[in-house]
A and B are shown apart, each in its own frame.
Chain A
């Protein structure tokens, strides 16, 4: 079962790297916001994989708590980013 944990962990790292690449390379604002969220999903997946403690023991609750907090932060930050992006967009249309 160790392999499943590694698979999830490595997949998390790959998703993280893909998100990072998107956040750095995409020019469009919306694409960058989405890319950062993809990167966050990768980090959360890594943390969820870290929590696995074998088939007998229940998963470690602490990384799960980290993921929950991380999701809350990511949602609020995305909301703020979208709100700012909308304001920019509205101003550009006015011009």
Chain B
């Protein structure tokens, strides 16, 4: 099963080179390698579930000198989500980009992005994480600029500068860690790190860098313009996966590696910023005129919920209650990944078919594009957190944790955010169901509508109804 880890990085990387050399058959190569990568992610998830955490040293060079790949329950789950979302978006993109020149520019960058996501989730040391973060950032910026319009290029440039700033802060933290502890291996570091000025400064530097990249309020200013002006499949992956990669690192550092260093005050600060993100992001999503901006602001809000878990997890003693809450956090992240990808793909279809994405002028969309409207509704169910979506299970754990630790303020924030989410989703649906007669045909553009529909259904139905194994998998640590 350790082979699957190598394939997860090697396959998309080889495919990225192949699509660069063979632009004419790029789509076939990309979809084929995407399928194979998804199979590898499935094998890895199966391997982690049956054999426990996996570990592989590339070329036999031990950690510290060589590159070690690691996979535990958390990374295997996120790799699986990455594969499913990226595969669905690839199928969508094969129809979205019609010109050969567009495809020739899109596929190599896309596969490089997929490679760096997989490599990041498999890395077990801080320096590889820095390198993969940079690869991810550069390919994401290049993809975001493919929109070509002035707004897209300006947003991509801002995204690049913010990302670089974040990387430099992260690298400075990495340098401090190496100066203080002489190791960059996460597992070794977890056993030697102790509270003190070095660990605090390093963690503060790395976390600030990562919060810039994951767009936590008030460092979210770059996200809405970037995600709203990129091509639809790119927006889907930026919102669903790329910001999550930086979040995954925050989670790893705070809950695994620096668990003994983190103080309740610091966790409360993250919680407060998360609360700000939930309220401000949801409010802005309710006020914007364009669907894509709505989806982007909703990403700001949904990332906020994930940070509400930090003060709860820190206040809970290790045990089943804490594991349940941690599982809820991952469930919320997974659900948002599928739902937001589905939502962005669906919005892309509306934008292409109707020529705009103004919310006010959506009347008749339900008759014209029934499957797409259904996908938006399903994704909306997951974003609000209604049962039976995975987000319902996640928010349930958030509320249960808030009650159990007596931190009522997070409960109020979650309830307000969910109400605002319901308002902005129903605002869209209200317009979409507005009457305007059109010939009735449920699925009009299968290759584009099915990926959106399946992703949204995954978030709203599958994760909620069959999500119990997630908690079991998360107990498989490194």
Q: Is the Cβ of B150 less than 8 Å from the Cβ of A80?
A: no
Q: Which residues of A contact B153 (CB under 8 A)?
A: 84, 87-88, 91
The answer to whether A77 touches B171 (Cβ under 8 A) is: no
Given contact pairs A36-B168, A73-B131, A84-B145, A66 touches B175 in the complex (Cβ within 8 A)? yes
The answer to whether the Cβ of B475 comes within 8 Å of any Cβ in the partner chain is no
* Inter-chain contacts of A29 with B (CB < 8 A): 157
B-side interface residues, number (CB < 8 Å): 28
Chain A count of residues within 8 A CB distance of the other chain: 30
Instruction: Tell me if B168 and A77 are in contact (CB < 8 A).
Output: no
Instruction: Give Cα distance in the complex from A32 to B164, angstroms.
Output: 11
Contact (Cβ within 8 A) A77 B154 = no
Instruction: Report which residue of A70, A84, A85, A87 has the largest number of chain B beta carbons within 10 angstroms of its beta carbon.
Output: A84
Q: How far is the CA of A91 from the CA of B153 in the complex (A)?
A: 10
| In contact, B134 and A77 (Cβ under 8 angstroms) | yes
Q: Does B142 contact A (CB under 8 A)?
A: yes
Q: Does B179 contact A (CB under 8 A)?
A: yes
B376 on interface, CB distance cutoff 8 Å: no
Is B178 touching A16 in the complex (CB atoms < 8 A)? no
Contact mask for chain B residues 91-117; partner A; CB cutoff 8 A; 1 contact, 0 none: 000000000000000000000000000
Q: Is B172 an interface residue (CB 8 A)?
A: yes
Distance of A47 Cα from B168 Cα, bound (Å): 12
Question: Is B221 in contact with chain A by the CB < 8 A criterion?
Answer: no
A81/B175 in contact, CB under 8 A? no
| A33 neighbours in B (Cβ, 8 Å) | 161
- Given A20-B165, A33-B161, A81-B160, check contact A88 B150 (CB 8 Å): yes
Q: How far is the CA of A32 from the CA of B160 in the complex (A)?
A: 11
- Is A50 an interface residue when CB atoms closer than 8 A count as contact? yes
A50-B179 in contact given A81-B161, A88-B153, A88-B154 (Cβ < 8 Å): yes
Contact with B along A71-95 (1 / 0, CB 8 A): 0011011001100110110010000
Shortest beta-carbon distance, A5 to chain B, in Å? 10
Question: Are A50 and B157 touching (Cβ within 8 A)?
Answer: no
Instruction: Determine the distance from Cα of A73 to Cα of B157 in the docked complex, in whole angstroms.
Output: 16
Using A81-B157, A81-B160, A88-B154 as known contacts, list a sample of 6 further A-B pairs with CB atoms less than 8 Å apart, ordered by residue number in A: A16-B168, A47-B175, A63-B178, A66-B127, A77-B137, A88-B153
The 9 A-B residue pairs whose C-beta atoms are closest, nearest first, are: A50-B179, A84-B157, A47-B175, A73-B134, A43-B172, A36-B164, A39-B168, A46-B175, A43-B171
Some 15 contacts from A to B, beta carbons below 8 A apart, are A19-B168, A20-B165, A33-B161, A36-B161, A40-B168, A43-B172, A43-B175, A46-B172, A46-B175, A46-B176, A50-B175, A62-B178, A69-B127, A69-B130, A81-B157
